[in-house]
Amino acid sequence: MNDRIRVSEVRLVGPNGETVGIVPTGDALRLAQEAELDLVEIAPTARPPVCKLMDYGKFKYENAQKARDARRNQTNVVIKEMKLRPKIDSHDYDTKKGHVVRFLRAGDKVKITIMFRGREQHRPELGFRLLQRLAEDVDDLGFVESAPKQDGRNMTMVLGPHRKKAEAKVEMAAEKETRAAERLQDEAEERAVREAQRGDGPVAQKKTRGRSENLDPEIDA
């Protein structure tokens, strides 16, 4: 950049991307100084090297902003795992299925593992039917990305979410805001009911007490 460019001539590109042509490096530096810009080498292996007139500080700042935005929007693929037994009872199955639903709604993949023990290894159809049942129960949220396959004492299947991670995050954030707003509204309504039950509000003016009939009429009020 600038005085560090040692070649005798460069192929110069203007600040708006226009081609100036091959010029002596000294002339290119002079043009950069007159425009209050930097002369930056952008293709050092070319013959002659390609240099561009630019505000190098602004260029670095904009690149840093783009990199930051890219990192913010980057989504990492997460694979959750759920393990089941082929003879799982209905209550445990519902609990495990609830976890799978939560993972898929969050945009994560789920690896389902059926663990066989003892004689269960000779009944792989039990695990296959269980995996099919689970896939059907959550088909509105996910799909079978990797079909069931036997792996030693285990049988595995991978479910993929229908929605991307970023979309799931946006929807979950919106749902969270909606629940928060509903909770605030419920609390306000409950507070209003309690205040009404306590009789809160403007205090009624005390009623003026009249003369009692048993007072001596000779005594002035």
Q: Under a CB-based contact definition with an 8 Å cutoff, are residues 112 and 82 in contact? A: yes
Paired tokens of 18: 């226009």
The most confident of the ranges 106-115, 164-173, 181-190, 195-204 is 106-115
The mean predicted confidence, pLDDT, of the chain is 84
42 vs 73, more confident: 42
Q: Which residues pair with 111 in a beta bridge?
A: 81, 158
CA 164/CA 160 separation, integer angstroms: 10
Query: DSSP for the chain?
Result: -GGG--SSEEEEE-TTS-EEEEEEHHHHHHHHHHTT-EEEEEETTSSSPEEEEE-HHHHHHHHHHHHHHHHHH-----EEEEEE-TT--HHHHHHHHHHHHHHHHTT-EEEEEEEP-GGGGG-HHHHHHHHHHHHHHTTTTEEEEEEEEEETTEEEEEEEESS-HHHHHHHHHHHHHHHHHHHHHHHHHHHHHHHHHHT-SSPPPPPPP---TTS-TTS--
For position 73, what pLDDT does the model report?
63
Which among 46, 50, 42, 44 has a CA at the least distance from the CA of 20?
50
Give mean pLDDT, residues 169-191: 76
Q: Is the pLDDT of residue 186 over 60?
A: yes
For position 118, what pLDDT does the model report?
86
141 vs 163, more confident: 141
Residue type for position 135? A
* pLDDT digit string, tens, across residues 58-89: 999 999 998 887 777 665 667 899 999 998 99
* pLDDT digit string, tens, across residues 12-29: 999 988 998 999 999 999
Q: Is the pLDDT of residue 97 over 70?
A: yes
166 vs 144, more confident: 144
* pLDDT digit string, tens, across residues 207-217: 555 554 554 45
Q: Under a CB-based contact definition with an 8 Å cutoff, are residues 165 and 75 in contact? A: yes
Q: Which residues contact 11 (CB under 8 A, 6 or more apart)?
A: 19, 21, 22, 46, 48, 49, 50, 51
For position 184, what pLDDT does the model report?
82
For position 74, what pLDDT does the model report?
61
